[in-house]
Structure 1
Amino acid sequence: MYDVVVIGGGPSGATASEDLARSGQKVAMIDRAGRIKPCGGAIPPRLIADFDIPDDQLRARVTTARMISPTGRKVDIPIENGFVGMVDRKDFDEFLRVRATAAGADRRSGTFLRIERDTGCTQVIYRDKASGEERALQTRLIIGADGARSKVARSEVPGGDRIPYVIAYHEIIEAPEAIGNYDPKRCDVIYDGRISPDFYGWVFPHGQTASVGMGSMVRGVDLKQATADLRAANGLSACKTIRREGAPIPLKPMDCWDNGRDVVLAGDAAGVVAPSSGEGIYYAMVGGRVAATAASACLASGRVRDLKLARQLFMHDHKMVFRVLASMQNAYYKSDDRRERFVSLCHDVDVQRLTFEAYMNKKLVRARPMAHLRIGLKNLAHLTRLVPAAYT
């Protein structure tokens, strides 16, 4: 009998498993070994500090972000007093799983199938990767951290089958030294309807490799062709492709994260990827931590309502950031004209400073009210077309 079975071994599931094991709970983590999520791999200093990530996991430290508009306008934003850490999910996720196992979590490699309660106790049924046989784990609680198309969410939690998501695709390539438009010390974000009609494309350096990809909610978009075009535009067509990956990325936290009985969701399964930016690693790990906190509280008190703590704790700290980012996406990702205006707005020094202070610290910066006022007025001017898109 386990106290908690965690379904999923990505950043969210591995974090939850480690936290639970360190707190003395008997925990099993079911990981679908071999799956690598498509991801730009950007992590902020806040994540590195909060989750004790060693330097050897960072493949690069990026100090400049470049925003590129539909007309090719380029805005370089220096990351003052900080950096964006870049990780490779193939290595980073496994590091987190190994650390959870070292903390005491029982790692199982396999694919989650279903939850059964017919015998009077809760059982998680999964297919063991090595033998191909179905296995059962008895448990008191379950954390569903099995991704954007979560089987746990769909079967156990109201609204789990209706999470909006972007389909993301990227290619990990052997990265050259600085060549063409590629700079190994800069993250490029491309806002161009020819690459993505409703999201963006990216070129993110990972040291000896790079992630080149894009995402879209629009059905029928040729993700592979858009990525090929992106590589060509940056002089990266001839670089060797190491692997190709695609997966959904959710864009809205679910209204409910638990089933009021024995299941709580975490990470992508709960929809906690930041709108507009698509940033997910930090929020996934926070989601895993609050799910572990809620599970521990429930086990200690015997009150199933304590499972609701996961969403309450997360939204207390991040609701406003998600609301602002969702407003930005709704306002600026609708057309190339809007995207052009968004990149133009990024010329503003106040926008640059507040954006990266918020990114690195993971909270809205309130210290400069006049800067917020100026940004609000400029934002309004662009959205109402009072200024041309070329205005800076």
Structure 2
Amino acid sequence: MSDFDIIVIGAGPAGSAAATWAAKHGARVALVDKAAFPRNKLCGGLFTERSRNYYREIFGQNFDLSKSVTRHDIAFWHAGAELAVLRDIPPLHLTMRLDLDNTLFRHAIDAGAVDFSGHPIAQISDNAVTFKDGNTLSAPILIGTDGVNSIVAKHLFGAAFYTETIGFGLEIEVPKATQNPTKNQLRIDFGALTWGYGWSFPKQQCTTVGVGGMRAPNPDIKAQMRHYIDTLGLDPDAIKFKGHHLPFGDFRKTPGRANIVLAGDAAGLVDPITGEGIAFAMKSGQIAAQAALDALAAGAPETTLTRHKIGLRDMHKNLRIARTLRRIIFAPRWQETFTETFRRSETVRAMYMRLLAGDLEYPQLARAVVARLPRYVVNAFRR
């Protein structure tokens, strides 16, 4: 039995941020993950300027871009046709999660968190975790940052996610040598899935290609992925792809119970329009850690969830607005109207780009959408 102040379960961006923040402020932190680092994870790897700002705030240093690809242009497509190419945009940084997650994990260990990576968990109680090798860690507070299939969420709620509202994605890594460099755009394809999109993100050694969207209205995502790969000029039969669930805009309104809280994908904190989750993961990990620190200082670990919910108010507000706006962007009945508006309107494209880059918050976007909504509805009915 080993005693800590906080056990962080899951060492991705949310967990490493939580462990770093708590350890830097004097807490005894155990950082647990079933995988040994470095380890890979399916993800587009988009690292925005918002992510860089959070990174600097949490880890106390600038993000090293030497292993990333930075782009100032992006192409948007729909139904095999190019809608627009935006240039001179705020920088978008494309990272490999193998490198990114390992960097964040090392920051947490350097800050003083104790490394329990490579230790799969057999059982969780309200103040302890027991590994499959029989060893146990205990702490008054647990922070679950173990992704969409969170075992902490299963312990709390009986299931890691809501099956009727979860998203799903398929992804491949295409070797750089197999692609035509003149066609290797950073691109997003609206409608590659129903209630979703496709993406092609160039990296230093490969290109990450995938599709993601709501699971329920896409019964054959593999066929849609093959079609998307084919539209990019790749051989869909020569590439094996992997899939994973996406907490695509269905966040947990109550992310925990008393002394156990969730952050990152485990709490459903993924942007339902852009699909970006790294920035929210790091920030929510920091918020969870601060809630834990404050609860410990007050001698009341059972108040951690209440404090965490207060810290997440702005993030939850943004996600609620985004979930509403998603109906305008991704709903099949509005798709043609939205894409035509996107093609014609420089203002709409600029707002979407600022949103993707982390330079625009959803309340600002909502006000702009409301102002344009009457014209948008008229155009939709005309179509």
Which range, TM-score by smaller chain? 0.7 to 0.9
Aligned length in residues? 368
- CA shift, 1:159, in A, is 8.0
| TM-fit CA distance, 1:72 | 2.0
User: Which residues in structure 2 correspond to 1:25-64 (within 5 Å)?
Assistant: 25-33=27-35, 36-52=40-56, 53-56=62-65, 58-64=67-73
Q: What SS does the corresponding residue of 2:252 show, helix, strand or coil?
A: coil
Match of 1:312 among 310, 313, 321: 310
Letter in 2 for 1:338: W
8 Å contact from structure 1 (residues 69, 339) kept in 2 = no
Q: Secondary structure at the match of 1:200?
A: strand
Q: Tell me, in whole angstroms, the C-alpha distance in 2 between the residues paired with 1:281 and 1:50.
A: 10
C-alpha separation between the residues in 2 aligned to 1:95 and 1:350?
A: 37
Aligned residue in 2 for 1:94: 102
Which runs of no fewer than 5 residues in structure 1 stay unpaired?
128-132
The structure-2 alpha-carbon separation of the partners of 1:18 and 1:386, relative to structure 1 and needing over 3 Å to count, comes to closer
Supply the RMSD in Å over aligned alpha carbons.
Answer: 2.9
**Quick one: distance in 2 between partners of 1:144 and 1:386?**
43
**CA displacement at 1:3 relative to structure 2:** 0.6
1:160 to partner: Cα distance? 5.5
- For the residues of structure 2 that align with 1:238 and 1:274, how far apart are their CA atoms? 28
CA spacing shift, 1:239–1:57, aligned 2, 3 Å: farther
Is residue 188 from structure 1 mapped to residue 187 from structure 2 by the alignment?
Answer: yes
Q: 1:350 deviation in Å? A: 1.7
Amino acid at match of 2:12: G
Aligned to 2:273, what secondary structure does the other structure show?
coil
In structure 2, distance between residues paired with 1:72 and 1:87: 27
C-alpha displacement of 1:13: 0.7
1:267 corresponding residue in structure 2: 264
Report the CA distance between 1:215 and its aligned residue.
1.7
Q: Residue 381 of structure 1 aligns with which residue?
A: 375
User: Are positions 1:77 and 2:66 aligned together?
Assistant: no
Distance 1:244 1:91 in 2: 20
Equivalent AA in structure 2 for residue 148 of structure 1: V
Distance 2:373 2:76 in 1: 17
1:156 alignment counterpart: 156
Determine which structure has the larger helix proportion and give its number.
Answer: 2
Deviation at 1:178, TM superposition (A): 7.1
Mapped contact 1:345–1:378 kept (Cα < 8 A): no
Confirm or deny: 8 A CA contact 1:8 1:146 kept in the other structure: yes
Q: Quick one: structure 1 residues 377 and 362, their matched pair in 2 at CA, closer, same or farther if it must change by over 3 Å?
A: closer
Listed one character per residue, the Cα deviations across residues 224-264 of structure 1 (whole Å, up to 9, x for unaligned) are 443332222112339985x743211112221112212x211
**Preserved CA contact (<8 Å) 2:196 2:213:** yes
Task: Label 1:143 to 1:378 Cα distance change in 2 as closer, same or farther (>3 A).
Answer: same
* Paired residues of 1:298 and 1:307 also in contact (CA < 8 A): no
Matched, 1:125 2:127: no
Contact 2:130/2:137, CA 8 A, preserved across alignment: yes
Alpha-carbon distance in structure 1 between the residues aligned to 2:128 and 2:223 = 44
Superposed displacement of residue 19, structure 1: 1.0
Matched residue, 1:339: 335
In structure 2, the gaps of 5 or more residues are 57-61
- Report the counterpart of residue 5 of structure 2 in structure 1: 3
Offset of 1:198 from its aligned partner? 2.3
Shift of the 294–158 alpha-carbon distance from structure 1 to 2, 3 Å rule, reads farther
Deviation at 1:162, TM superposition (A): 2.9
2:170 corresponds in structure 1 to 169
CA–CA distance in 2 between the matches of 1:92 and 1:345?
Answer: 36
Q: Distance in 1 between matches of 2:176 and 2:281?
A: 27
Distance 2:160 2:256 in 1: 10
Question: Given the two structures, how large is their TM-score scaled by the length of structure 1?
Answer: 0.84
Displaced runs of 4+ in structure 1, greater than 4 A?
A: 157-161, 238-241, 386-389
**Is 2:55–2:63's contact at 8 Å kept on the other side of the alignment?**
no
1:202-233 deviation line (CA, Å, top 9, x unaligned) = 11111221111112333563334433322221
**1:352 to 1:385, Cα distance in 2 relative to 1, 3 A:** closer
> Would you say the 8 A contact 2:251–2:268 is kept in 1?
yes
* 2:122 pairs with 1:113: yes
Residue 130 (structure 1) aligns with: none
Amino acid at match of 2:44: G
Q: Distance in 2 between matches of 1:365 and 1:150?
A: 27
Deviations 1:320-373 (A, max 9, x none): 4323321222233232x5222222222322222333334434542888x9x955
Report the 3-state secondary structure (helix = DSSP H, G, I; strand = E; otherwise coil) of the residue aligned with 1:63: strand
3-state SS in 2 of match to 1:275: coil
